[in-house]
Chains A and B, each alone.
Chain A
């Protein structure tokens, strides 16, 4: 069970208070009507499943109810960093690792 630092509450809380909400940084296309079916399908359904560094959206559901991002190693389950929505991760997979 994860021990997660909520960047809004500024403290570590148990995983039970949080929900995972999928991959981070999937922006809704600004002009959906201009998207092809394929593009819309990619936006809706296609997600990365990396072995290693992954950016995930989580919500402090039983806490402040705010969404935020987690950079997590899917192999070791280490949480490398947390950052707010709108911010960029500082820990990213390097090209060799992600191959």
Chain B
């Protein structure tokens, strides 16, 4: 033996599926240890004799490893050797050991071995009965934040990394005929059956190798060790092109219509960081025609006093550590069981050369193959008894055993004490029904196996093996073949031949229904009997919840927090339900069960996000001139997915200085805006005009070719949701523009009305937003500038306000619209997007003499606010109709068809007095700029809460007017012109404003009428 493995004091000389020639060094809580390839972190810790792996959540009691798989409640680790590669809350039982692995406990301070919180816990624990956070921390309300941080700190789960994860994660979409969840005997038999029939198969298993229970069993299959049969099957499966084998892959969610999600651990099972170019984890999204759940079962521990002292374990986990990892986690074992099956653990322990102190069987007269085998080995069996209490604090030092009555609910004789360092218990097996619950099926209690099995489902789902309570290997194998055969026949595929290996004949006696071992003291006074380790829920806590009147198991769960941990109560829930049922004088099926939901085990955010992060999180849309904006120092703002130029600071300009310059230059000479993001919908068909009349509030019947018109769009409720200019391109051809953010919604709106309400109208819609680049030149010199780039006549006489014309601009075909959102003489030049940058640059070339100034969305907002033009979505919020906006001119009540919104805006509440109406707000102090969102009041001295009359929707500093401009809602505002409204602000100031017309600049519209 090497010196290194000598330190692994619990490691056997031989046996197990580990490679003793491959020594792996790892660090746990700052100390160096070694294990072997094939180990899990848990098996390596046990091999090294590490007893305490954490502190409990509420009482801060030392805790050890109790299980060997996904059901482990205690061994929750923080993994990672650098800050960036931290992974919180990894179950040590599911983490493969690799060289250089760094792990730590997720709780315990200053260390798990000497925990200061433990002292507090002993006092604090009494102050934390079930429902403690409802009872204790509710009052005073103001203290909640203080309590919360304390609770979060005490919660003892891992922490998120503070640095970006350097690894790559990705997702794959998969399709298959049959997905088999679990590669134990049932799953492998099913996979073999389906694969031989030529079906497209996916088989996934959470463990690093296929085989499930067969990997830790001493059973023979066909006269050979079971693992050999596993190897043969795996080898054959790997020869089929249509079989995808996924080890290290947890099927975490079973969603509607046979959609399953699988988290595959690719490199994080053998490296801290994924080797170059490799993916750390992969998330498979599977759509399966048929699902075979072969998820197996978890052994249930029994509930007894101090059952959380390190050294208390689930029986089968002990066998797994011995048989699969060559680790015996102690010297002297006491096994407590209510069934035959668990006797195997005592046999394995004995055969490993360690001492079995006693088997404590709750049944009076056990008999069967394993019982006989124990007797043959001379192991002491204490019948009709239970371990009522474990002794020790940091490790089990002994047990108290007492005779029980027939029902197993009372101690009926004297206590005997025995020395031991390990207590293994078994209360039977709970089928792993979690995935079957995800789609809403309610589990069914099966009295014969004393467990819940999957309920009826509407999914194309089959189940095989221990999930059905078919616990023996023989049953599991044949159920696997049957499930796959059923799926094949449903799929219309030919049957295949699978000859199953011969299994050993095992006789097992009847198990006893036992969950909670009584103590000589009442449960409330007995040493703590833990049901849910992760949340420190005890038997007495559940009894207390029942006494306090909680009858529904869902309420008991929420009150005690049973099953609320990251383990979802895989070990404890059934025991908790049994205890509640007994308290409520009900059977377990009467009490019912809680439902498991996705995910089966916690999933890393990396796997969920995959590549959808960073630049790929959400698509970004750029206009054709984007590179120019970047080059010219533009700051950008997000409008939907668009990146829009916000403003263009020069040198050291502040934002306000840049805006002032842009605003002044535009009104003085000419400015240019990249308006390409405006939604554009091409509308054609002989009924296009009629259609427009129905979806817009104003009239469209007489709009001639070559003309543009502004329109308001409302919902059926009469509330404005979008606006824009629509132009008549030809008799049956229109171009509709929408707000930048509303384009998709408006297109859907048009389509749903056309397809579901008015299919008789011949009209076609096409989104052409990206087809065109749109440049708006605005200002008194805009015509002069345009004239330099076109031969067409753009004079006032030939091209009036609200006209559009096709023409050539900078040598390329263009549509030019004389429309204005600034109140200035303005031309909107639209060219094919590919020509956008060319025309933009040509404009700057010719525009130099006019000081052509680029401006962004912020200056656009200011210029339009000076004119009182609304922005749908900023000055509207879904609760205002056109009349509230003072835009009655945009509504034609005379149209023959009752347009969308007409009936809605005539409802009683829409026509009442004193609705909030949009008005201009002129601050008495011209320098004061109202904050947008500020609430107005009519009497600033009114007691709080003051009656509020409406909020500020748009507010800016106007360099052109040398004062602030604002718009906002005021109740009955349109009838209150000249009256005062006050805006008390959070900082104590009160800004006073006069209600006025929202048109602050050029009220007669003379600037654009040139």
B752 interface contact, C-beta 8 A: yes
Instruction: Give the docked Cα–Cα distance between A67 and B898 (Å).
Output: 23
Is A51 part of the binding interface, using a Cβ–Cβ cutoff of 8 Å? no
Proximity bits, B359-398, A CB within 8 Å = 1, else 0 = 0000000000000000000000000000000000000000
Q: CB-nearest residue of chain B relative to A21?
A: B752
A31 touches B759 (CB 8 A): no
Asked if A17 is at the interface (CB within 8 A of a chain B CB), the reply is no
**Residues of chain B within 8 A of A57, CB atoms compared:** 756
Chain B interface size range: 20 to 34
**In the complex, A76 Cα to B757 Cα: how many Å?**
30
B440 within 8 A of A: yes
Q: In the docked arrangement, what's the CA distance between A37 and B457, Å?
A: 45
Q: How many residues of A contact B (CB 8 A)?
A: 31
State in angstroms the CA–CA spacing of A75 and B256 once bound together.
11
Nearest CB in chain B: distance from A32 CB, A = 4
Contact of B756 among A19, A33, A41, A85 (CB under 8 A): A85
Any A CB within 8 A of the CB of B113: no
Instruction: Tell me whether B255 and A1 are in contact (CB under 8 A).
Output: yes
Q: Once the chains bind, are A59 and B748 in contact (CB under 8 Å)?
A: yes
Closest to B261 in A: A1
* Chain A residues whose CB sits within 8 angstroms of the CB of B908 once the complex forms: 37
Q: Is A48's beta carbon under 8 Å from chain B? A: no
Q: Tell yes or no: B716 within 8 A of A by CB.
A: yes
The answer to whether A44 and B756 have CB atoms under 8 Å apart is no
Chain A positions 26 through 66: 1 when the CB is less than 8 Å from some CB of chain B, otherwise 0: 01100111010100110110000000000001010100011
Distance of A86 Cα from B757 Cα, bound (Å): 10
Q: Which residues in window 728-761 of B have CB below 8 A to A?
A: 748, 751-752, 755-757, 759
Question: Are A86 and B752 in contact, CB atoms less than 8 angstroms apart?
Answer: no
Chain B residues positioned under 8 Å from A79 (CB to CB): 257
Closest to A67 in B: B755
- Please tell me if the beta carbons of A28 and B902 are within 8 angstroms of each other in the complex: no
Nearest CB of B to A47, in Å: 13
Q: Which of chain B's residues has its CB closest to A27's CB? A: B757
Contact of B903 with A by CB under 8 A: yes
Contacts of A44 in B (CB 8 A): 716-717, 904
Fill in one digit per residue for B245-279: 1 if any A CB lies within 8 Å of its CB, else 0: 00000000001111100000000000000000000
Could you say which of B259, B287, B903 contacts A40, with CB atoms under 8 Å apart? Answer: B903
Minimal beta-carbon separation of B211 from chain A (angstroms): 31
Q: How far is the CA of A85 from the CA of B468 in the complex (A)?
A: 44
CB distance from A56 to the nearest CB of B (A): 13
Most chain A CB within a 10 A radius of its CB, from B440, B751, B755, B908: B755
B759-A86 in contact (CB<8A): yes
Q: Is the CB of A32 within 8 A of B759?
A: no
Asked if A76 meets B755 with Cβ closer than 8 Å, knowing A1-B256, A33-B903, A40-B907, the reply is no
Residues of chain A lying within 8 A (CB to CB) of residue B256: 1-2, 77
B458 at the interface (CB under 8 A from A): yes
A78 to B458, CA, bound (A): 7
Q: How far is the CB of A88 from the nearest CB of chain B, in Å?
A: 14
Task: Determine whether the beta carbon of B257 is less than 8 Å from that of A3.
Answer: yes
| A31 in complex: contacting residue of B257, B258, B756, B898, CB < 8 Å | B898
A93 to chain B, nearest CB (A): 16
CB distance from B26 to the nearest CB of A (A): 39
* 9 A-B pairs with the lowest CB-CB distances in the bound complex, closest first: A32-B903, A3-B257, A76-B458, A32-B898, A77-B256, A1-B259, A67-B755, A37-B907, A78-B458
13 residue pairs A–B, Cβ–Cβ below 8 Å: A3-B287, A19-B748, A21-B752, A37-B907, A44-B716, A44-B717, A57-B756, A59-B751, A65-B751, A76-B458, A77-B256, A77-B458, A79-B257
Known: A32-B903, A44-B904, A73-B458. 7 other contacts (CB 8 A): A31-B898, A33-B898, A33-B902, A67-B751, A77-B256, A77-B257, A86-B759
